[in-house]
Amino acid sequence: MTTKPRLRESLTAARRPISITAVVDCVGALASHSVHGHLYLYDTNKAGGSTGFGTEELRTKVRRGDQLLWNVLALECEAFVSIDDIVIDRAVVEPERRTYPGTDVAYWIGTVKRDDILEAPYRIKFRVGTRTEPITTTLSPALFG
């Protein structure tokens, strides 16, 4: 009888990663010096309660222990875009930049630290094209519990 609660605890503790993808219209962002109107955010937790898909104000539903993986895609195939930084309350999650083994393709990963998140807005800084300064989101996506 004692193994069933432990099994249930281990199953609820094991959560699948939530992937957050930013699609950037690089040509538009470079022309306007802003990602406002040129950024489309999506995550893989729509069934879990996330909202705002395809907008700059994606709200990702999370729980403590969820692993978040941020990545970016350029809308134009020849354009360069990468995530330079994710600015968020470090008491909620500490995003860390990593690269896929054997490549220079970067992604950001972090684990949600708390369950009591009413709203944790964050900003994403993007490197776009050959521009030396990052372009930061003007509207804030957010995590919520």
List the alpha helices (DSSP H) in the chain: 3-13, 26-32
**19: domain range?**
14-144
Here the CATH number for the domain that contains residue 94 is 2.60.40.3910
As a whole number, mean pLDDT of residues 102-125 equals 95
Q: Does a structural domain hold residue 2?
A: no
- Number of domains composing the chain: 1
pLDDT tens-digit series, residues 34-81? 999 999 999 999 999 999 999 999 999 999 999 999 999 999 989 999
**Residue 2 bridge partners (DSSP):** none
* Nearest C-alpha neighbor of 120 from the set 37, 55, 48, 63: 63
* Contact (Cβ atoms closer than 8 angstroms) between residue 58 and residue 43: yes
Residue 18 has pLDDT above 60, yes or no: yes
Burial class for 87, CB neighbours closer than 10 Å (0-12, 13-18, 19+) = middle
Q: Does a structural domain hold residue 8?
A: no
Q: Does a structural domain hold residue 86?
A: yes
pTM: 0.88
Q: Does a structural domain hold residue 119?
A: yes
Q: Does a structural domain hold residue 5?
A: no
Q: Does a structural domain hold residue 51?
A: yes
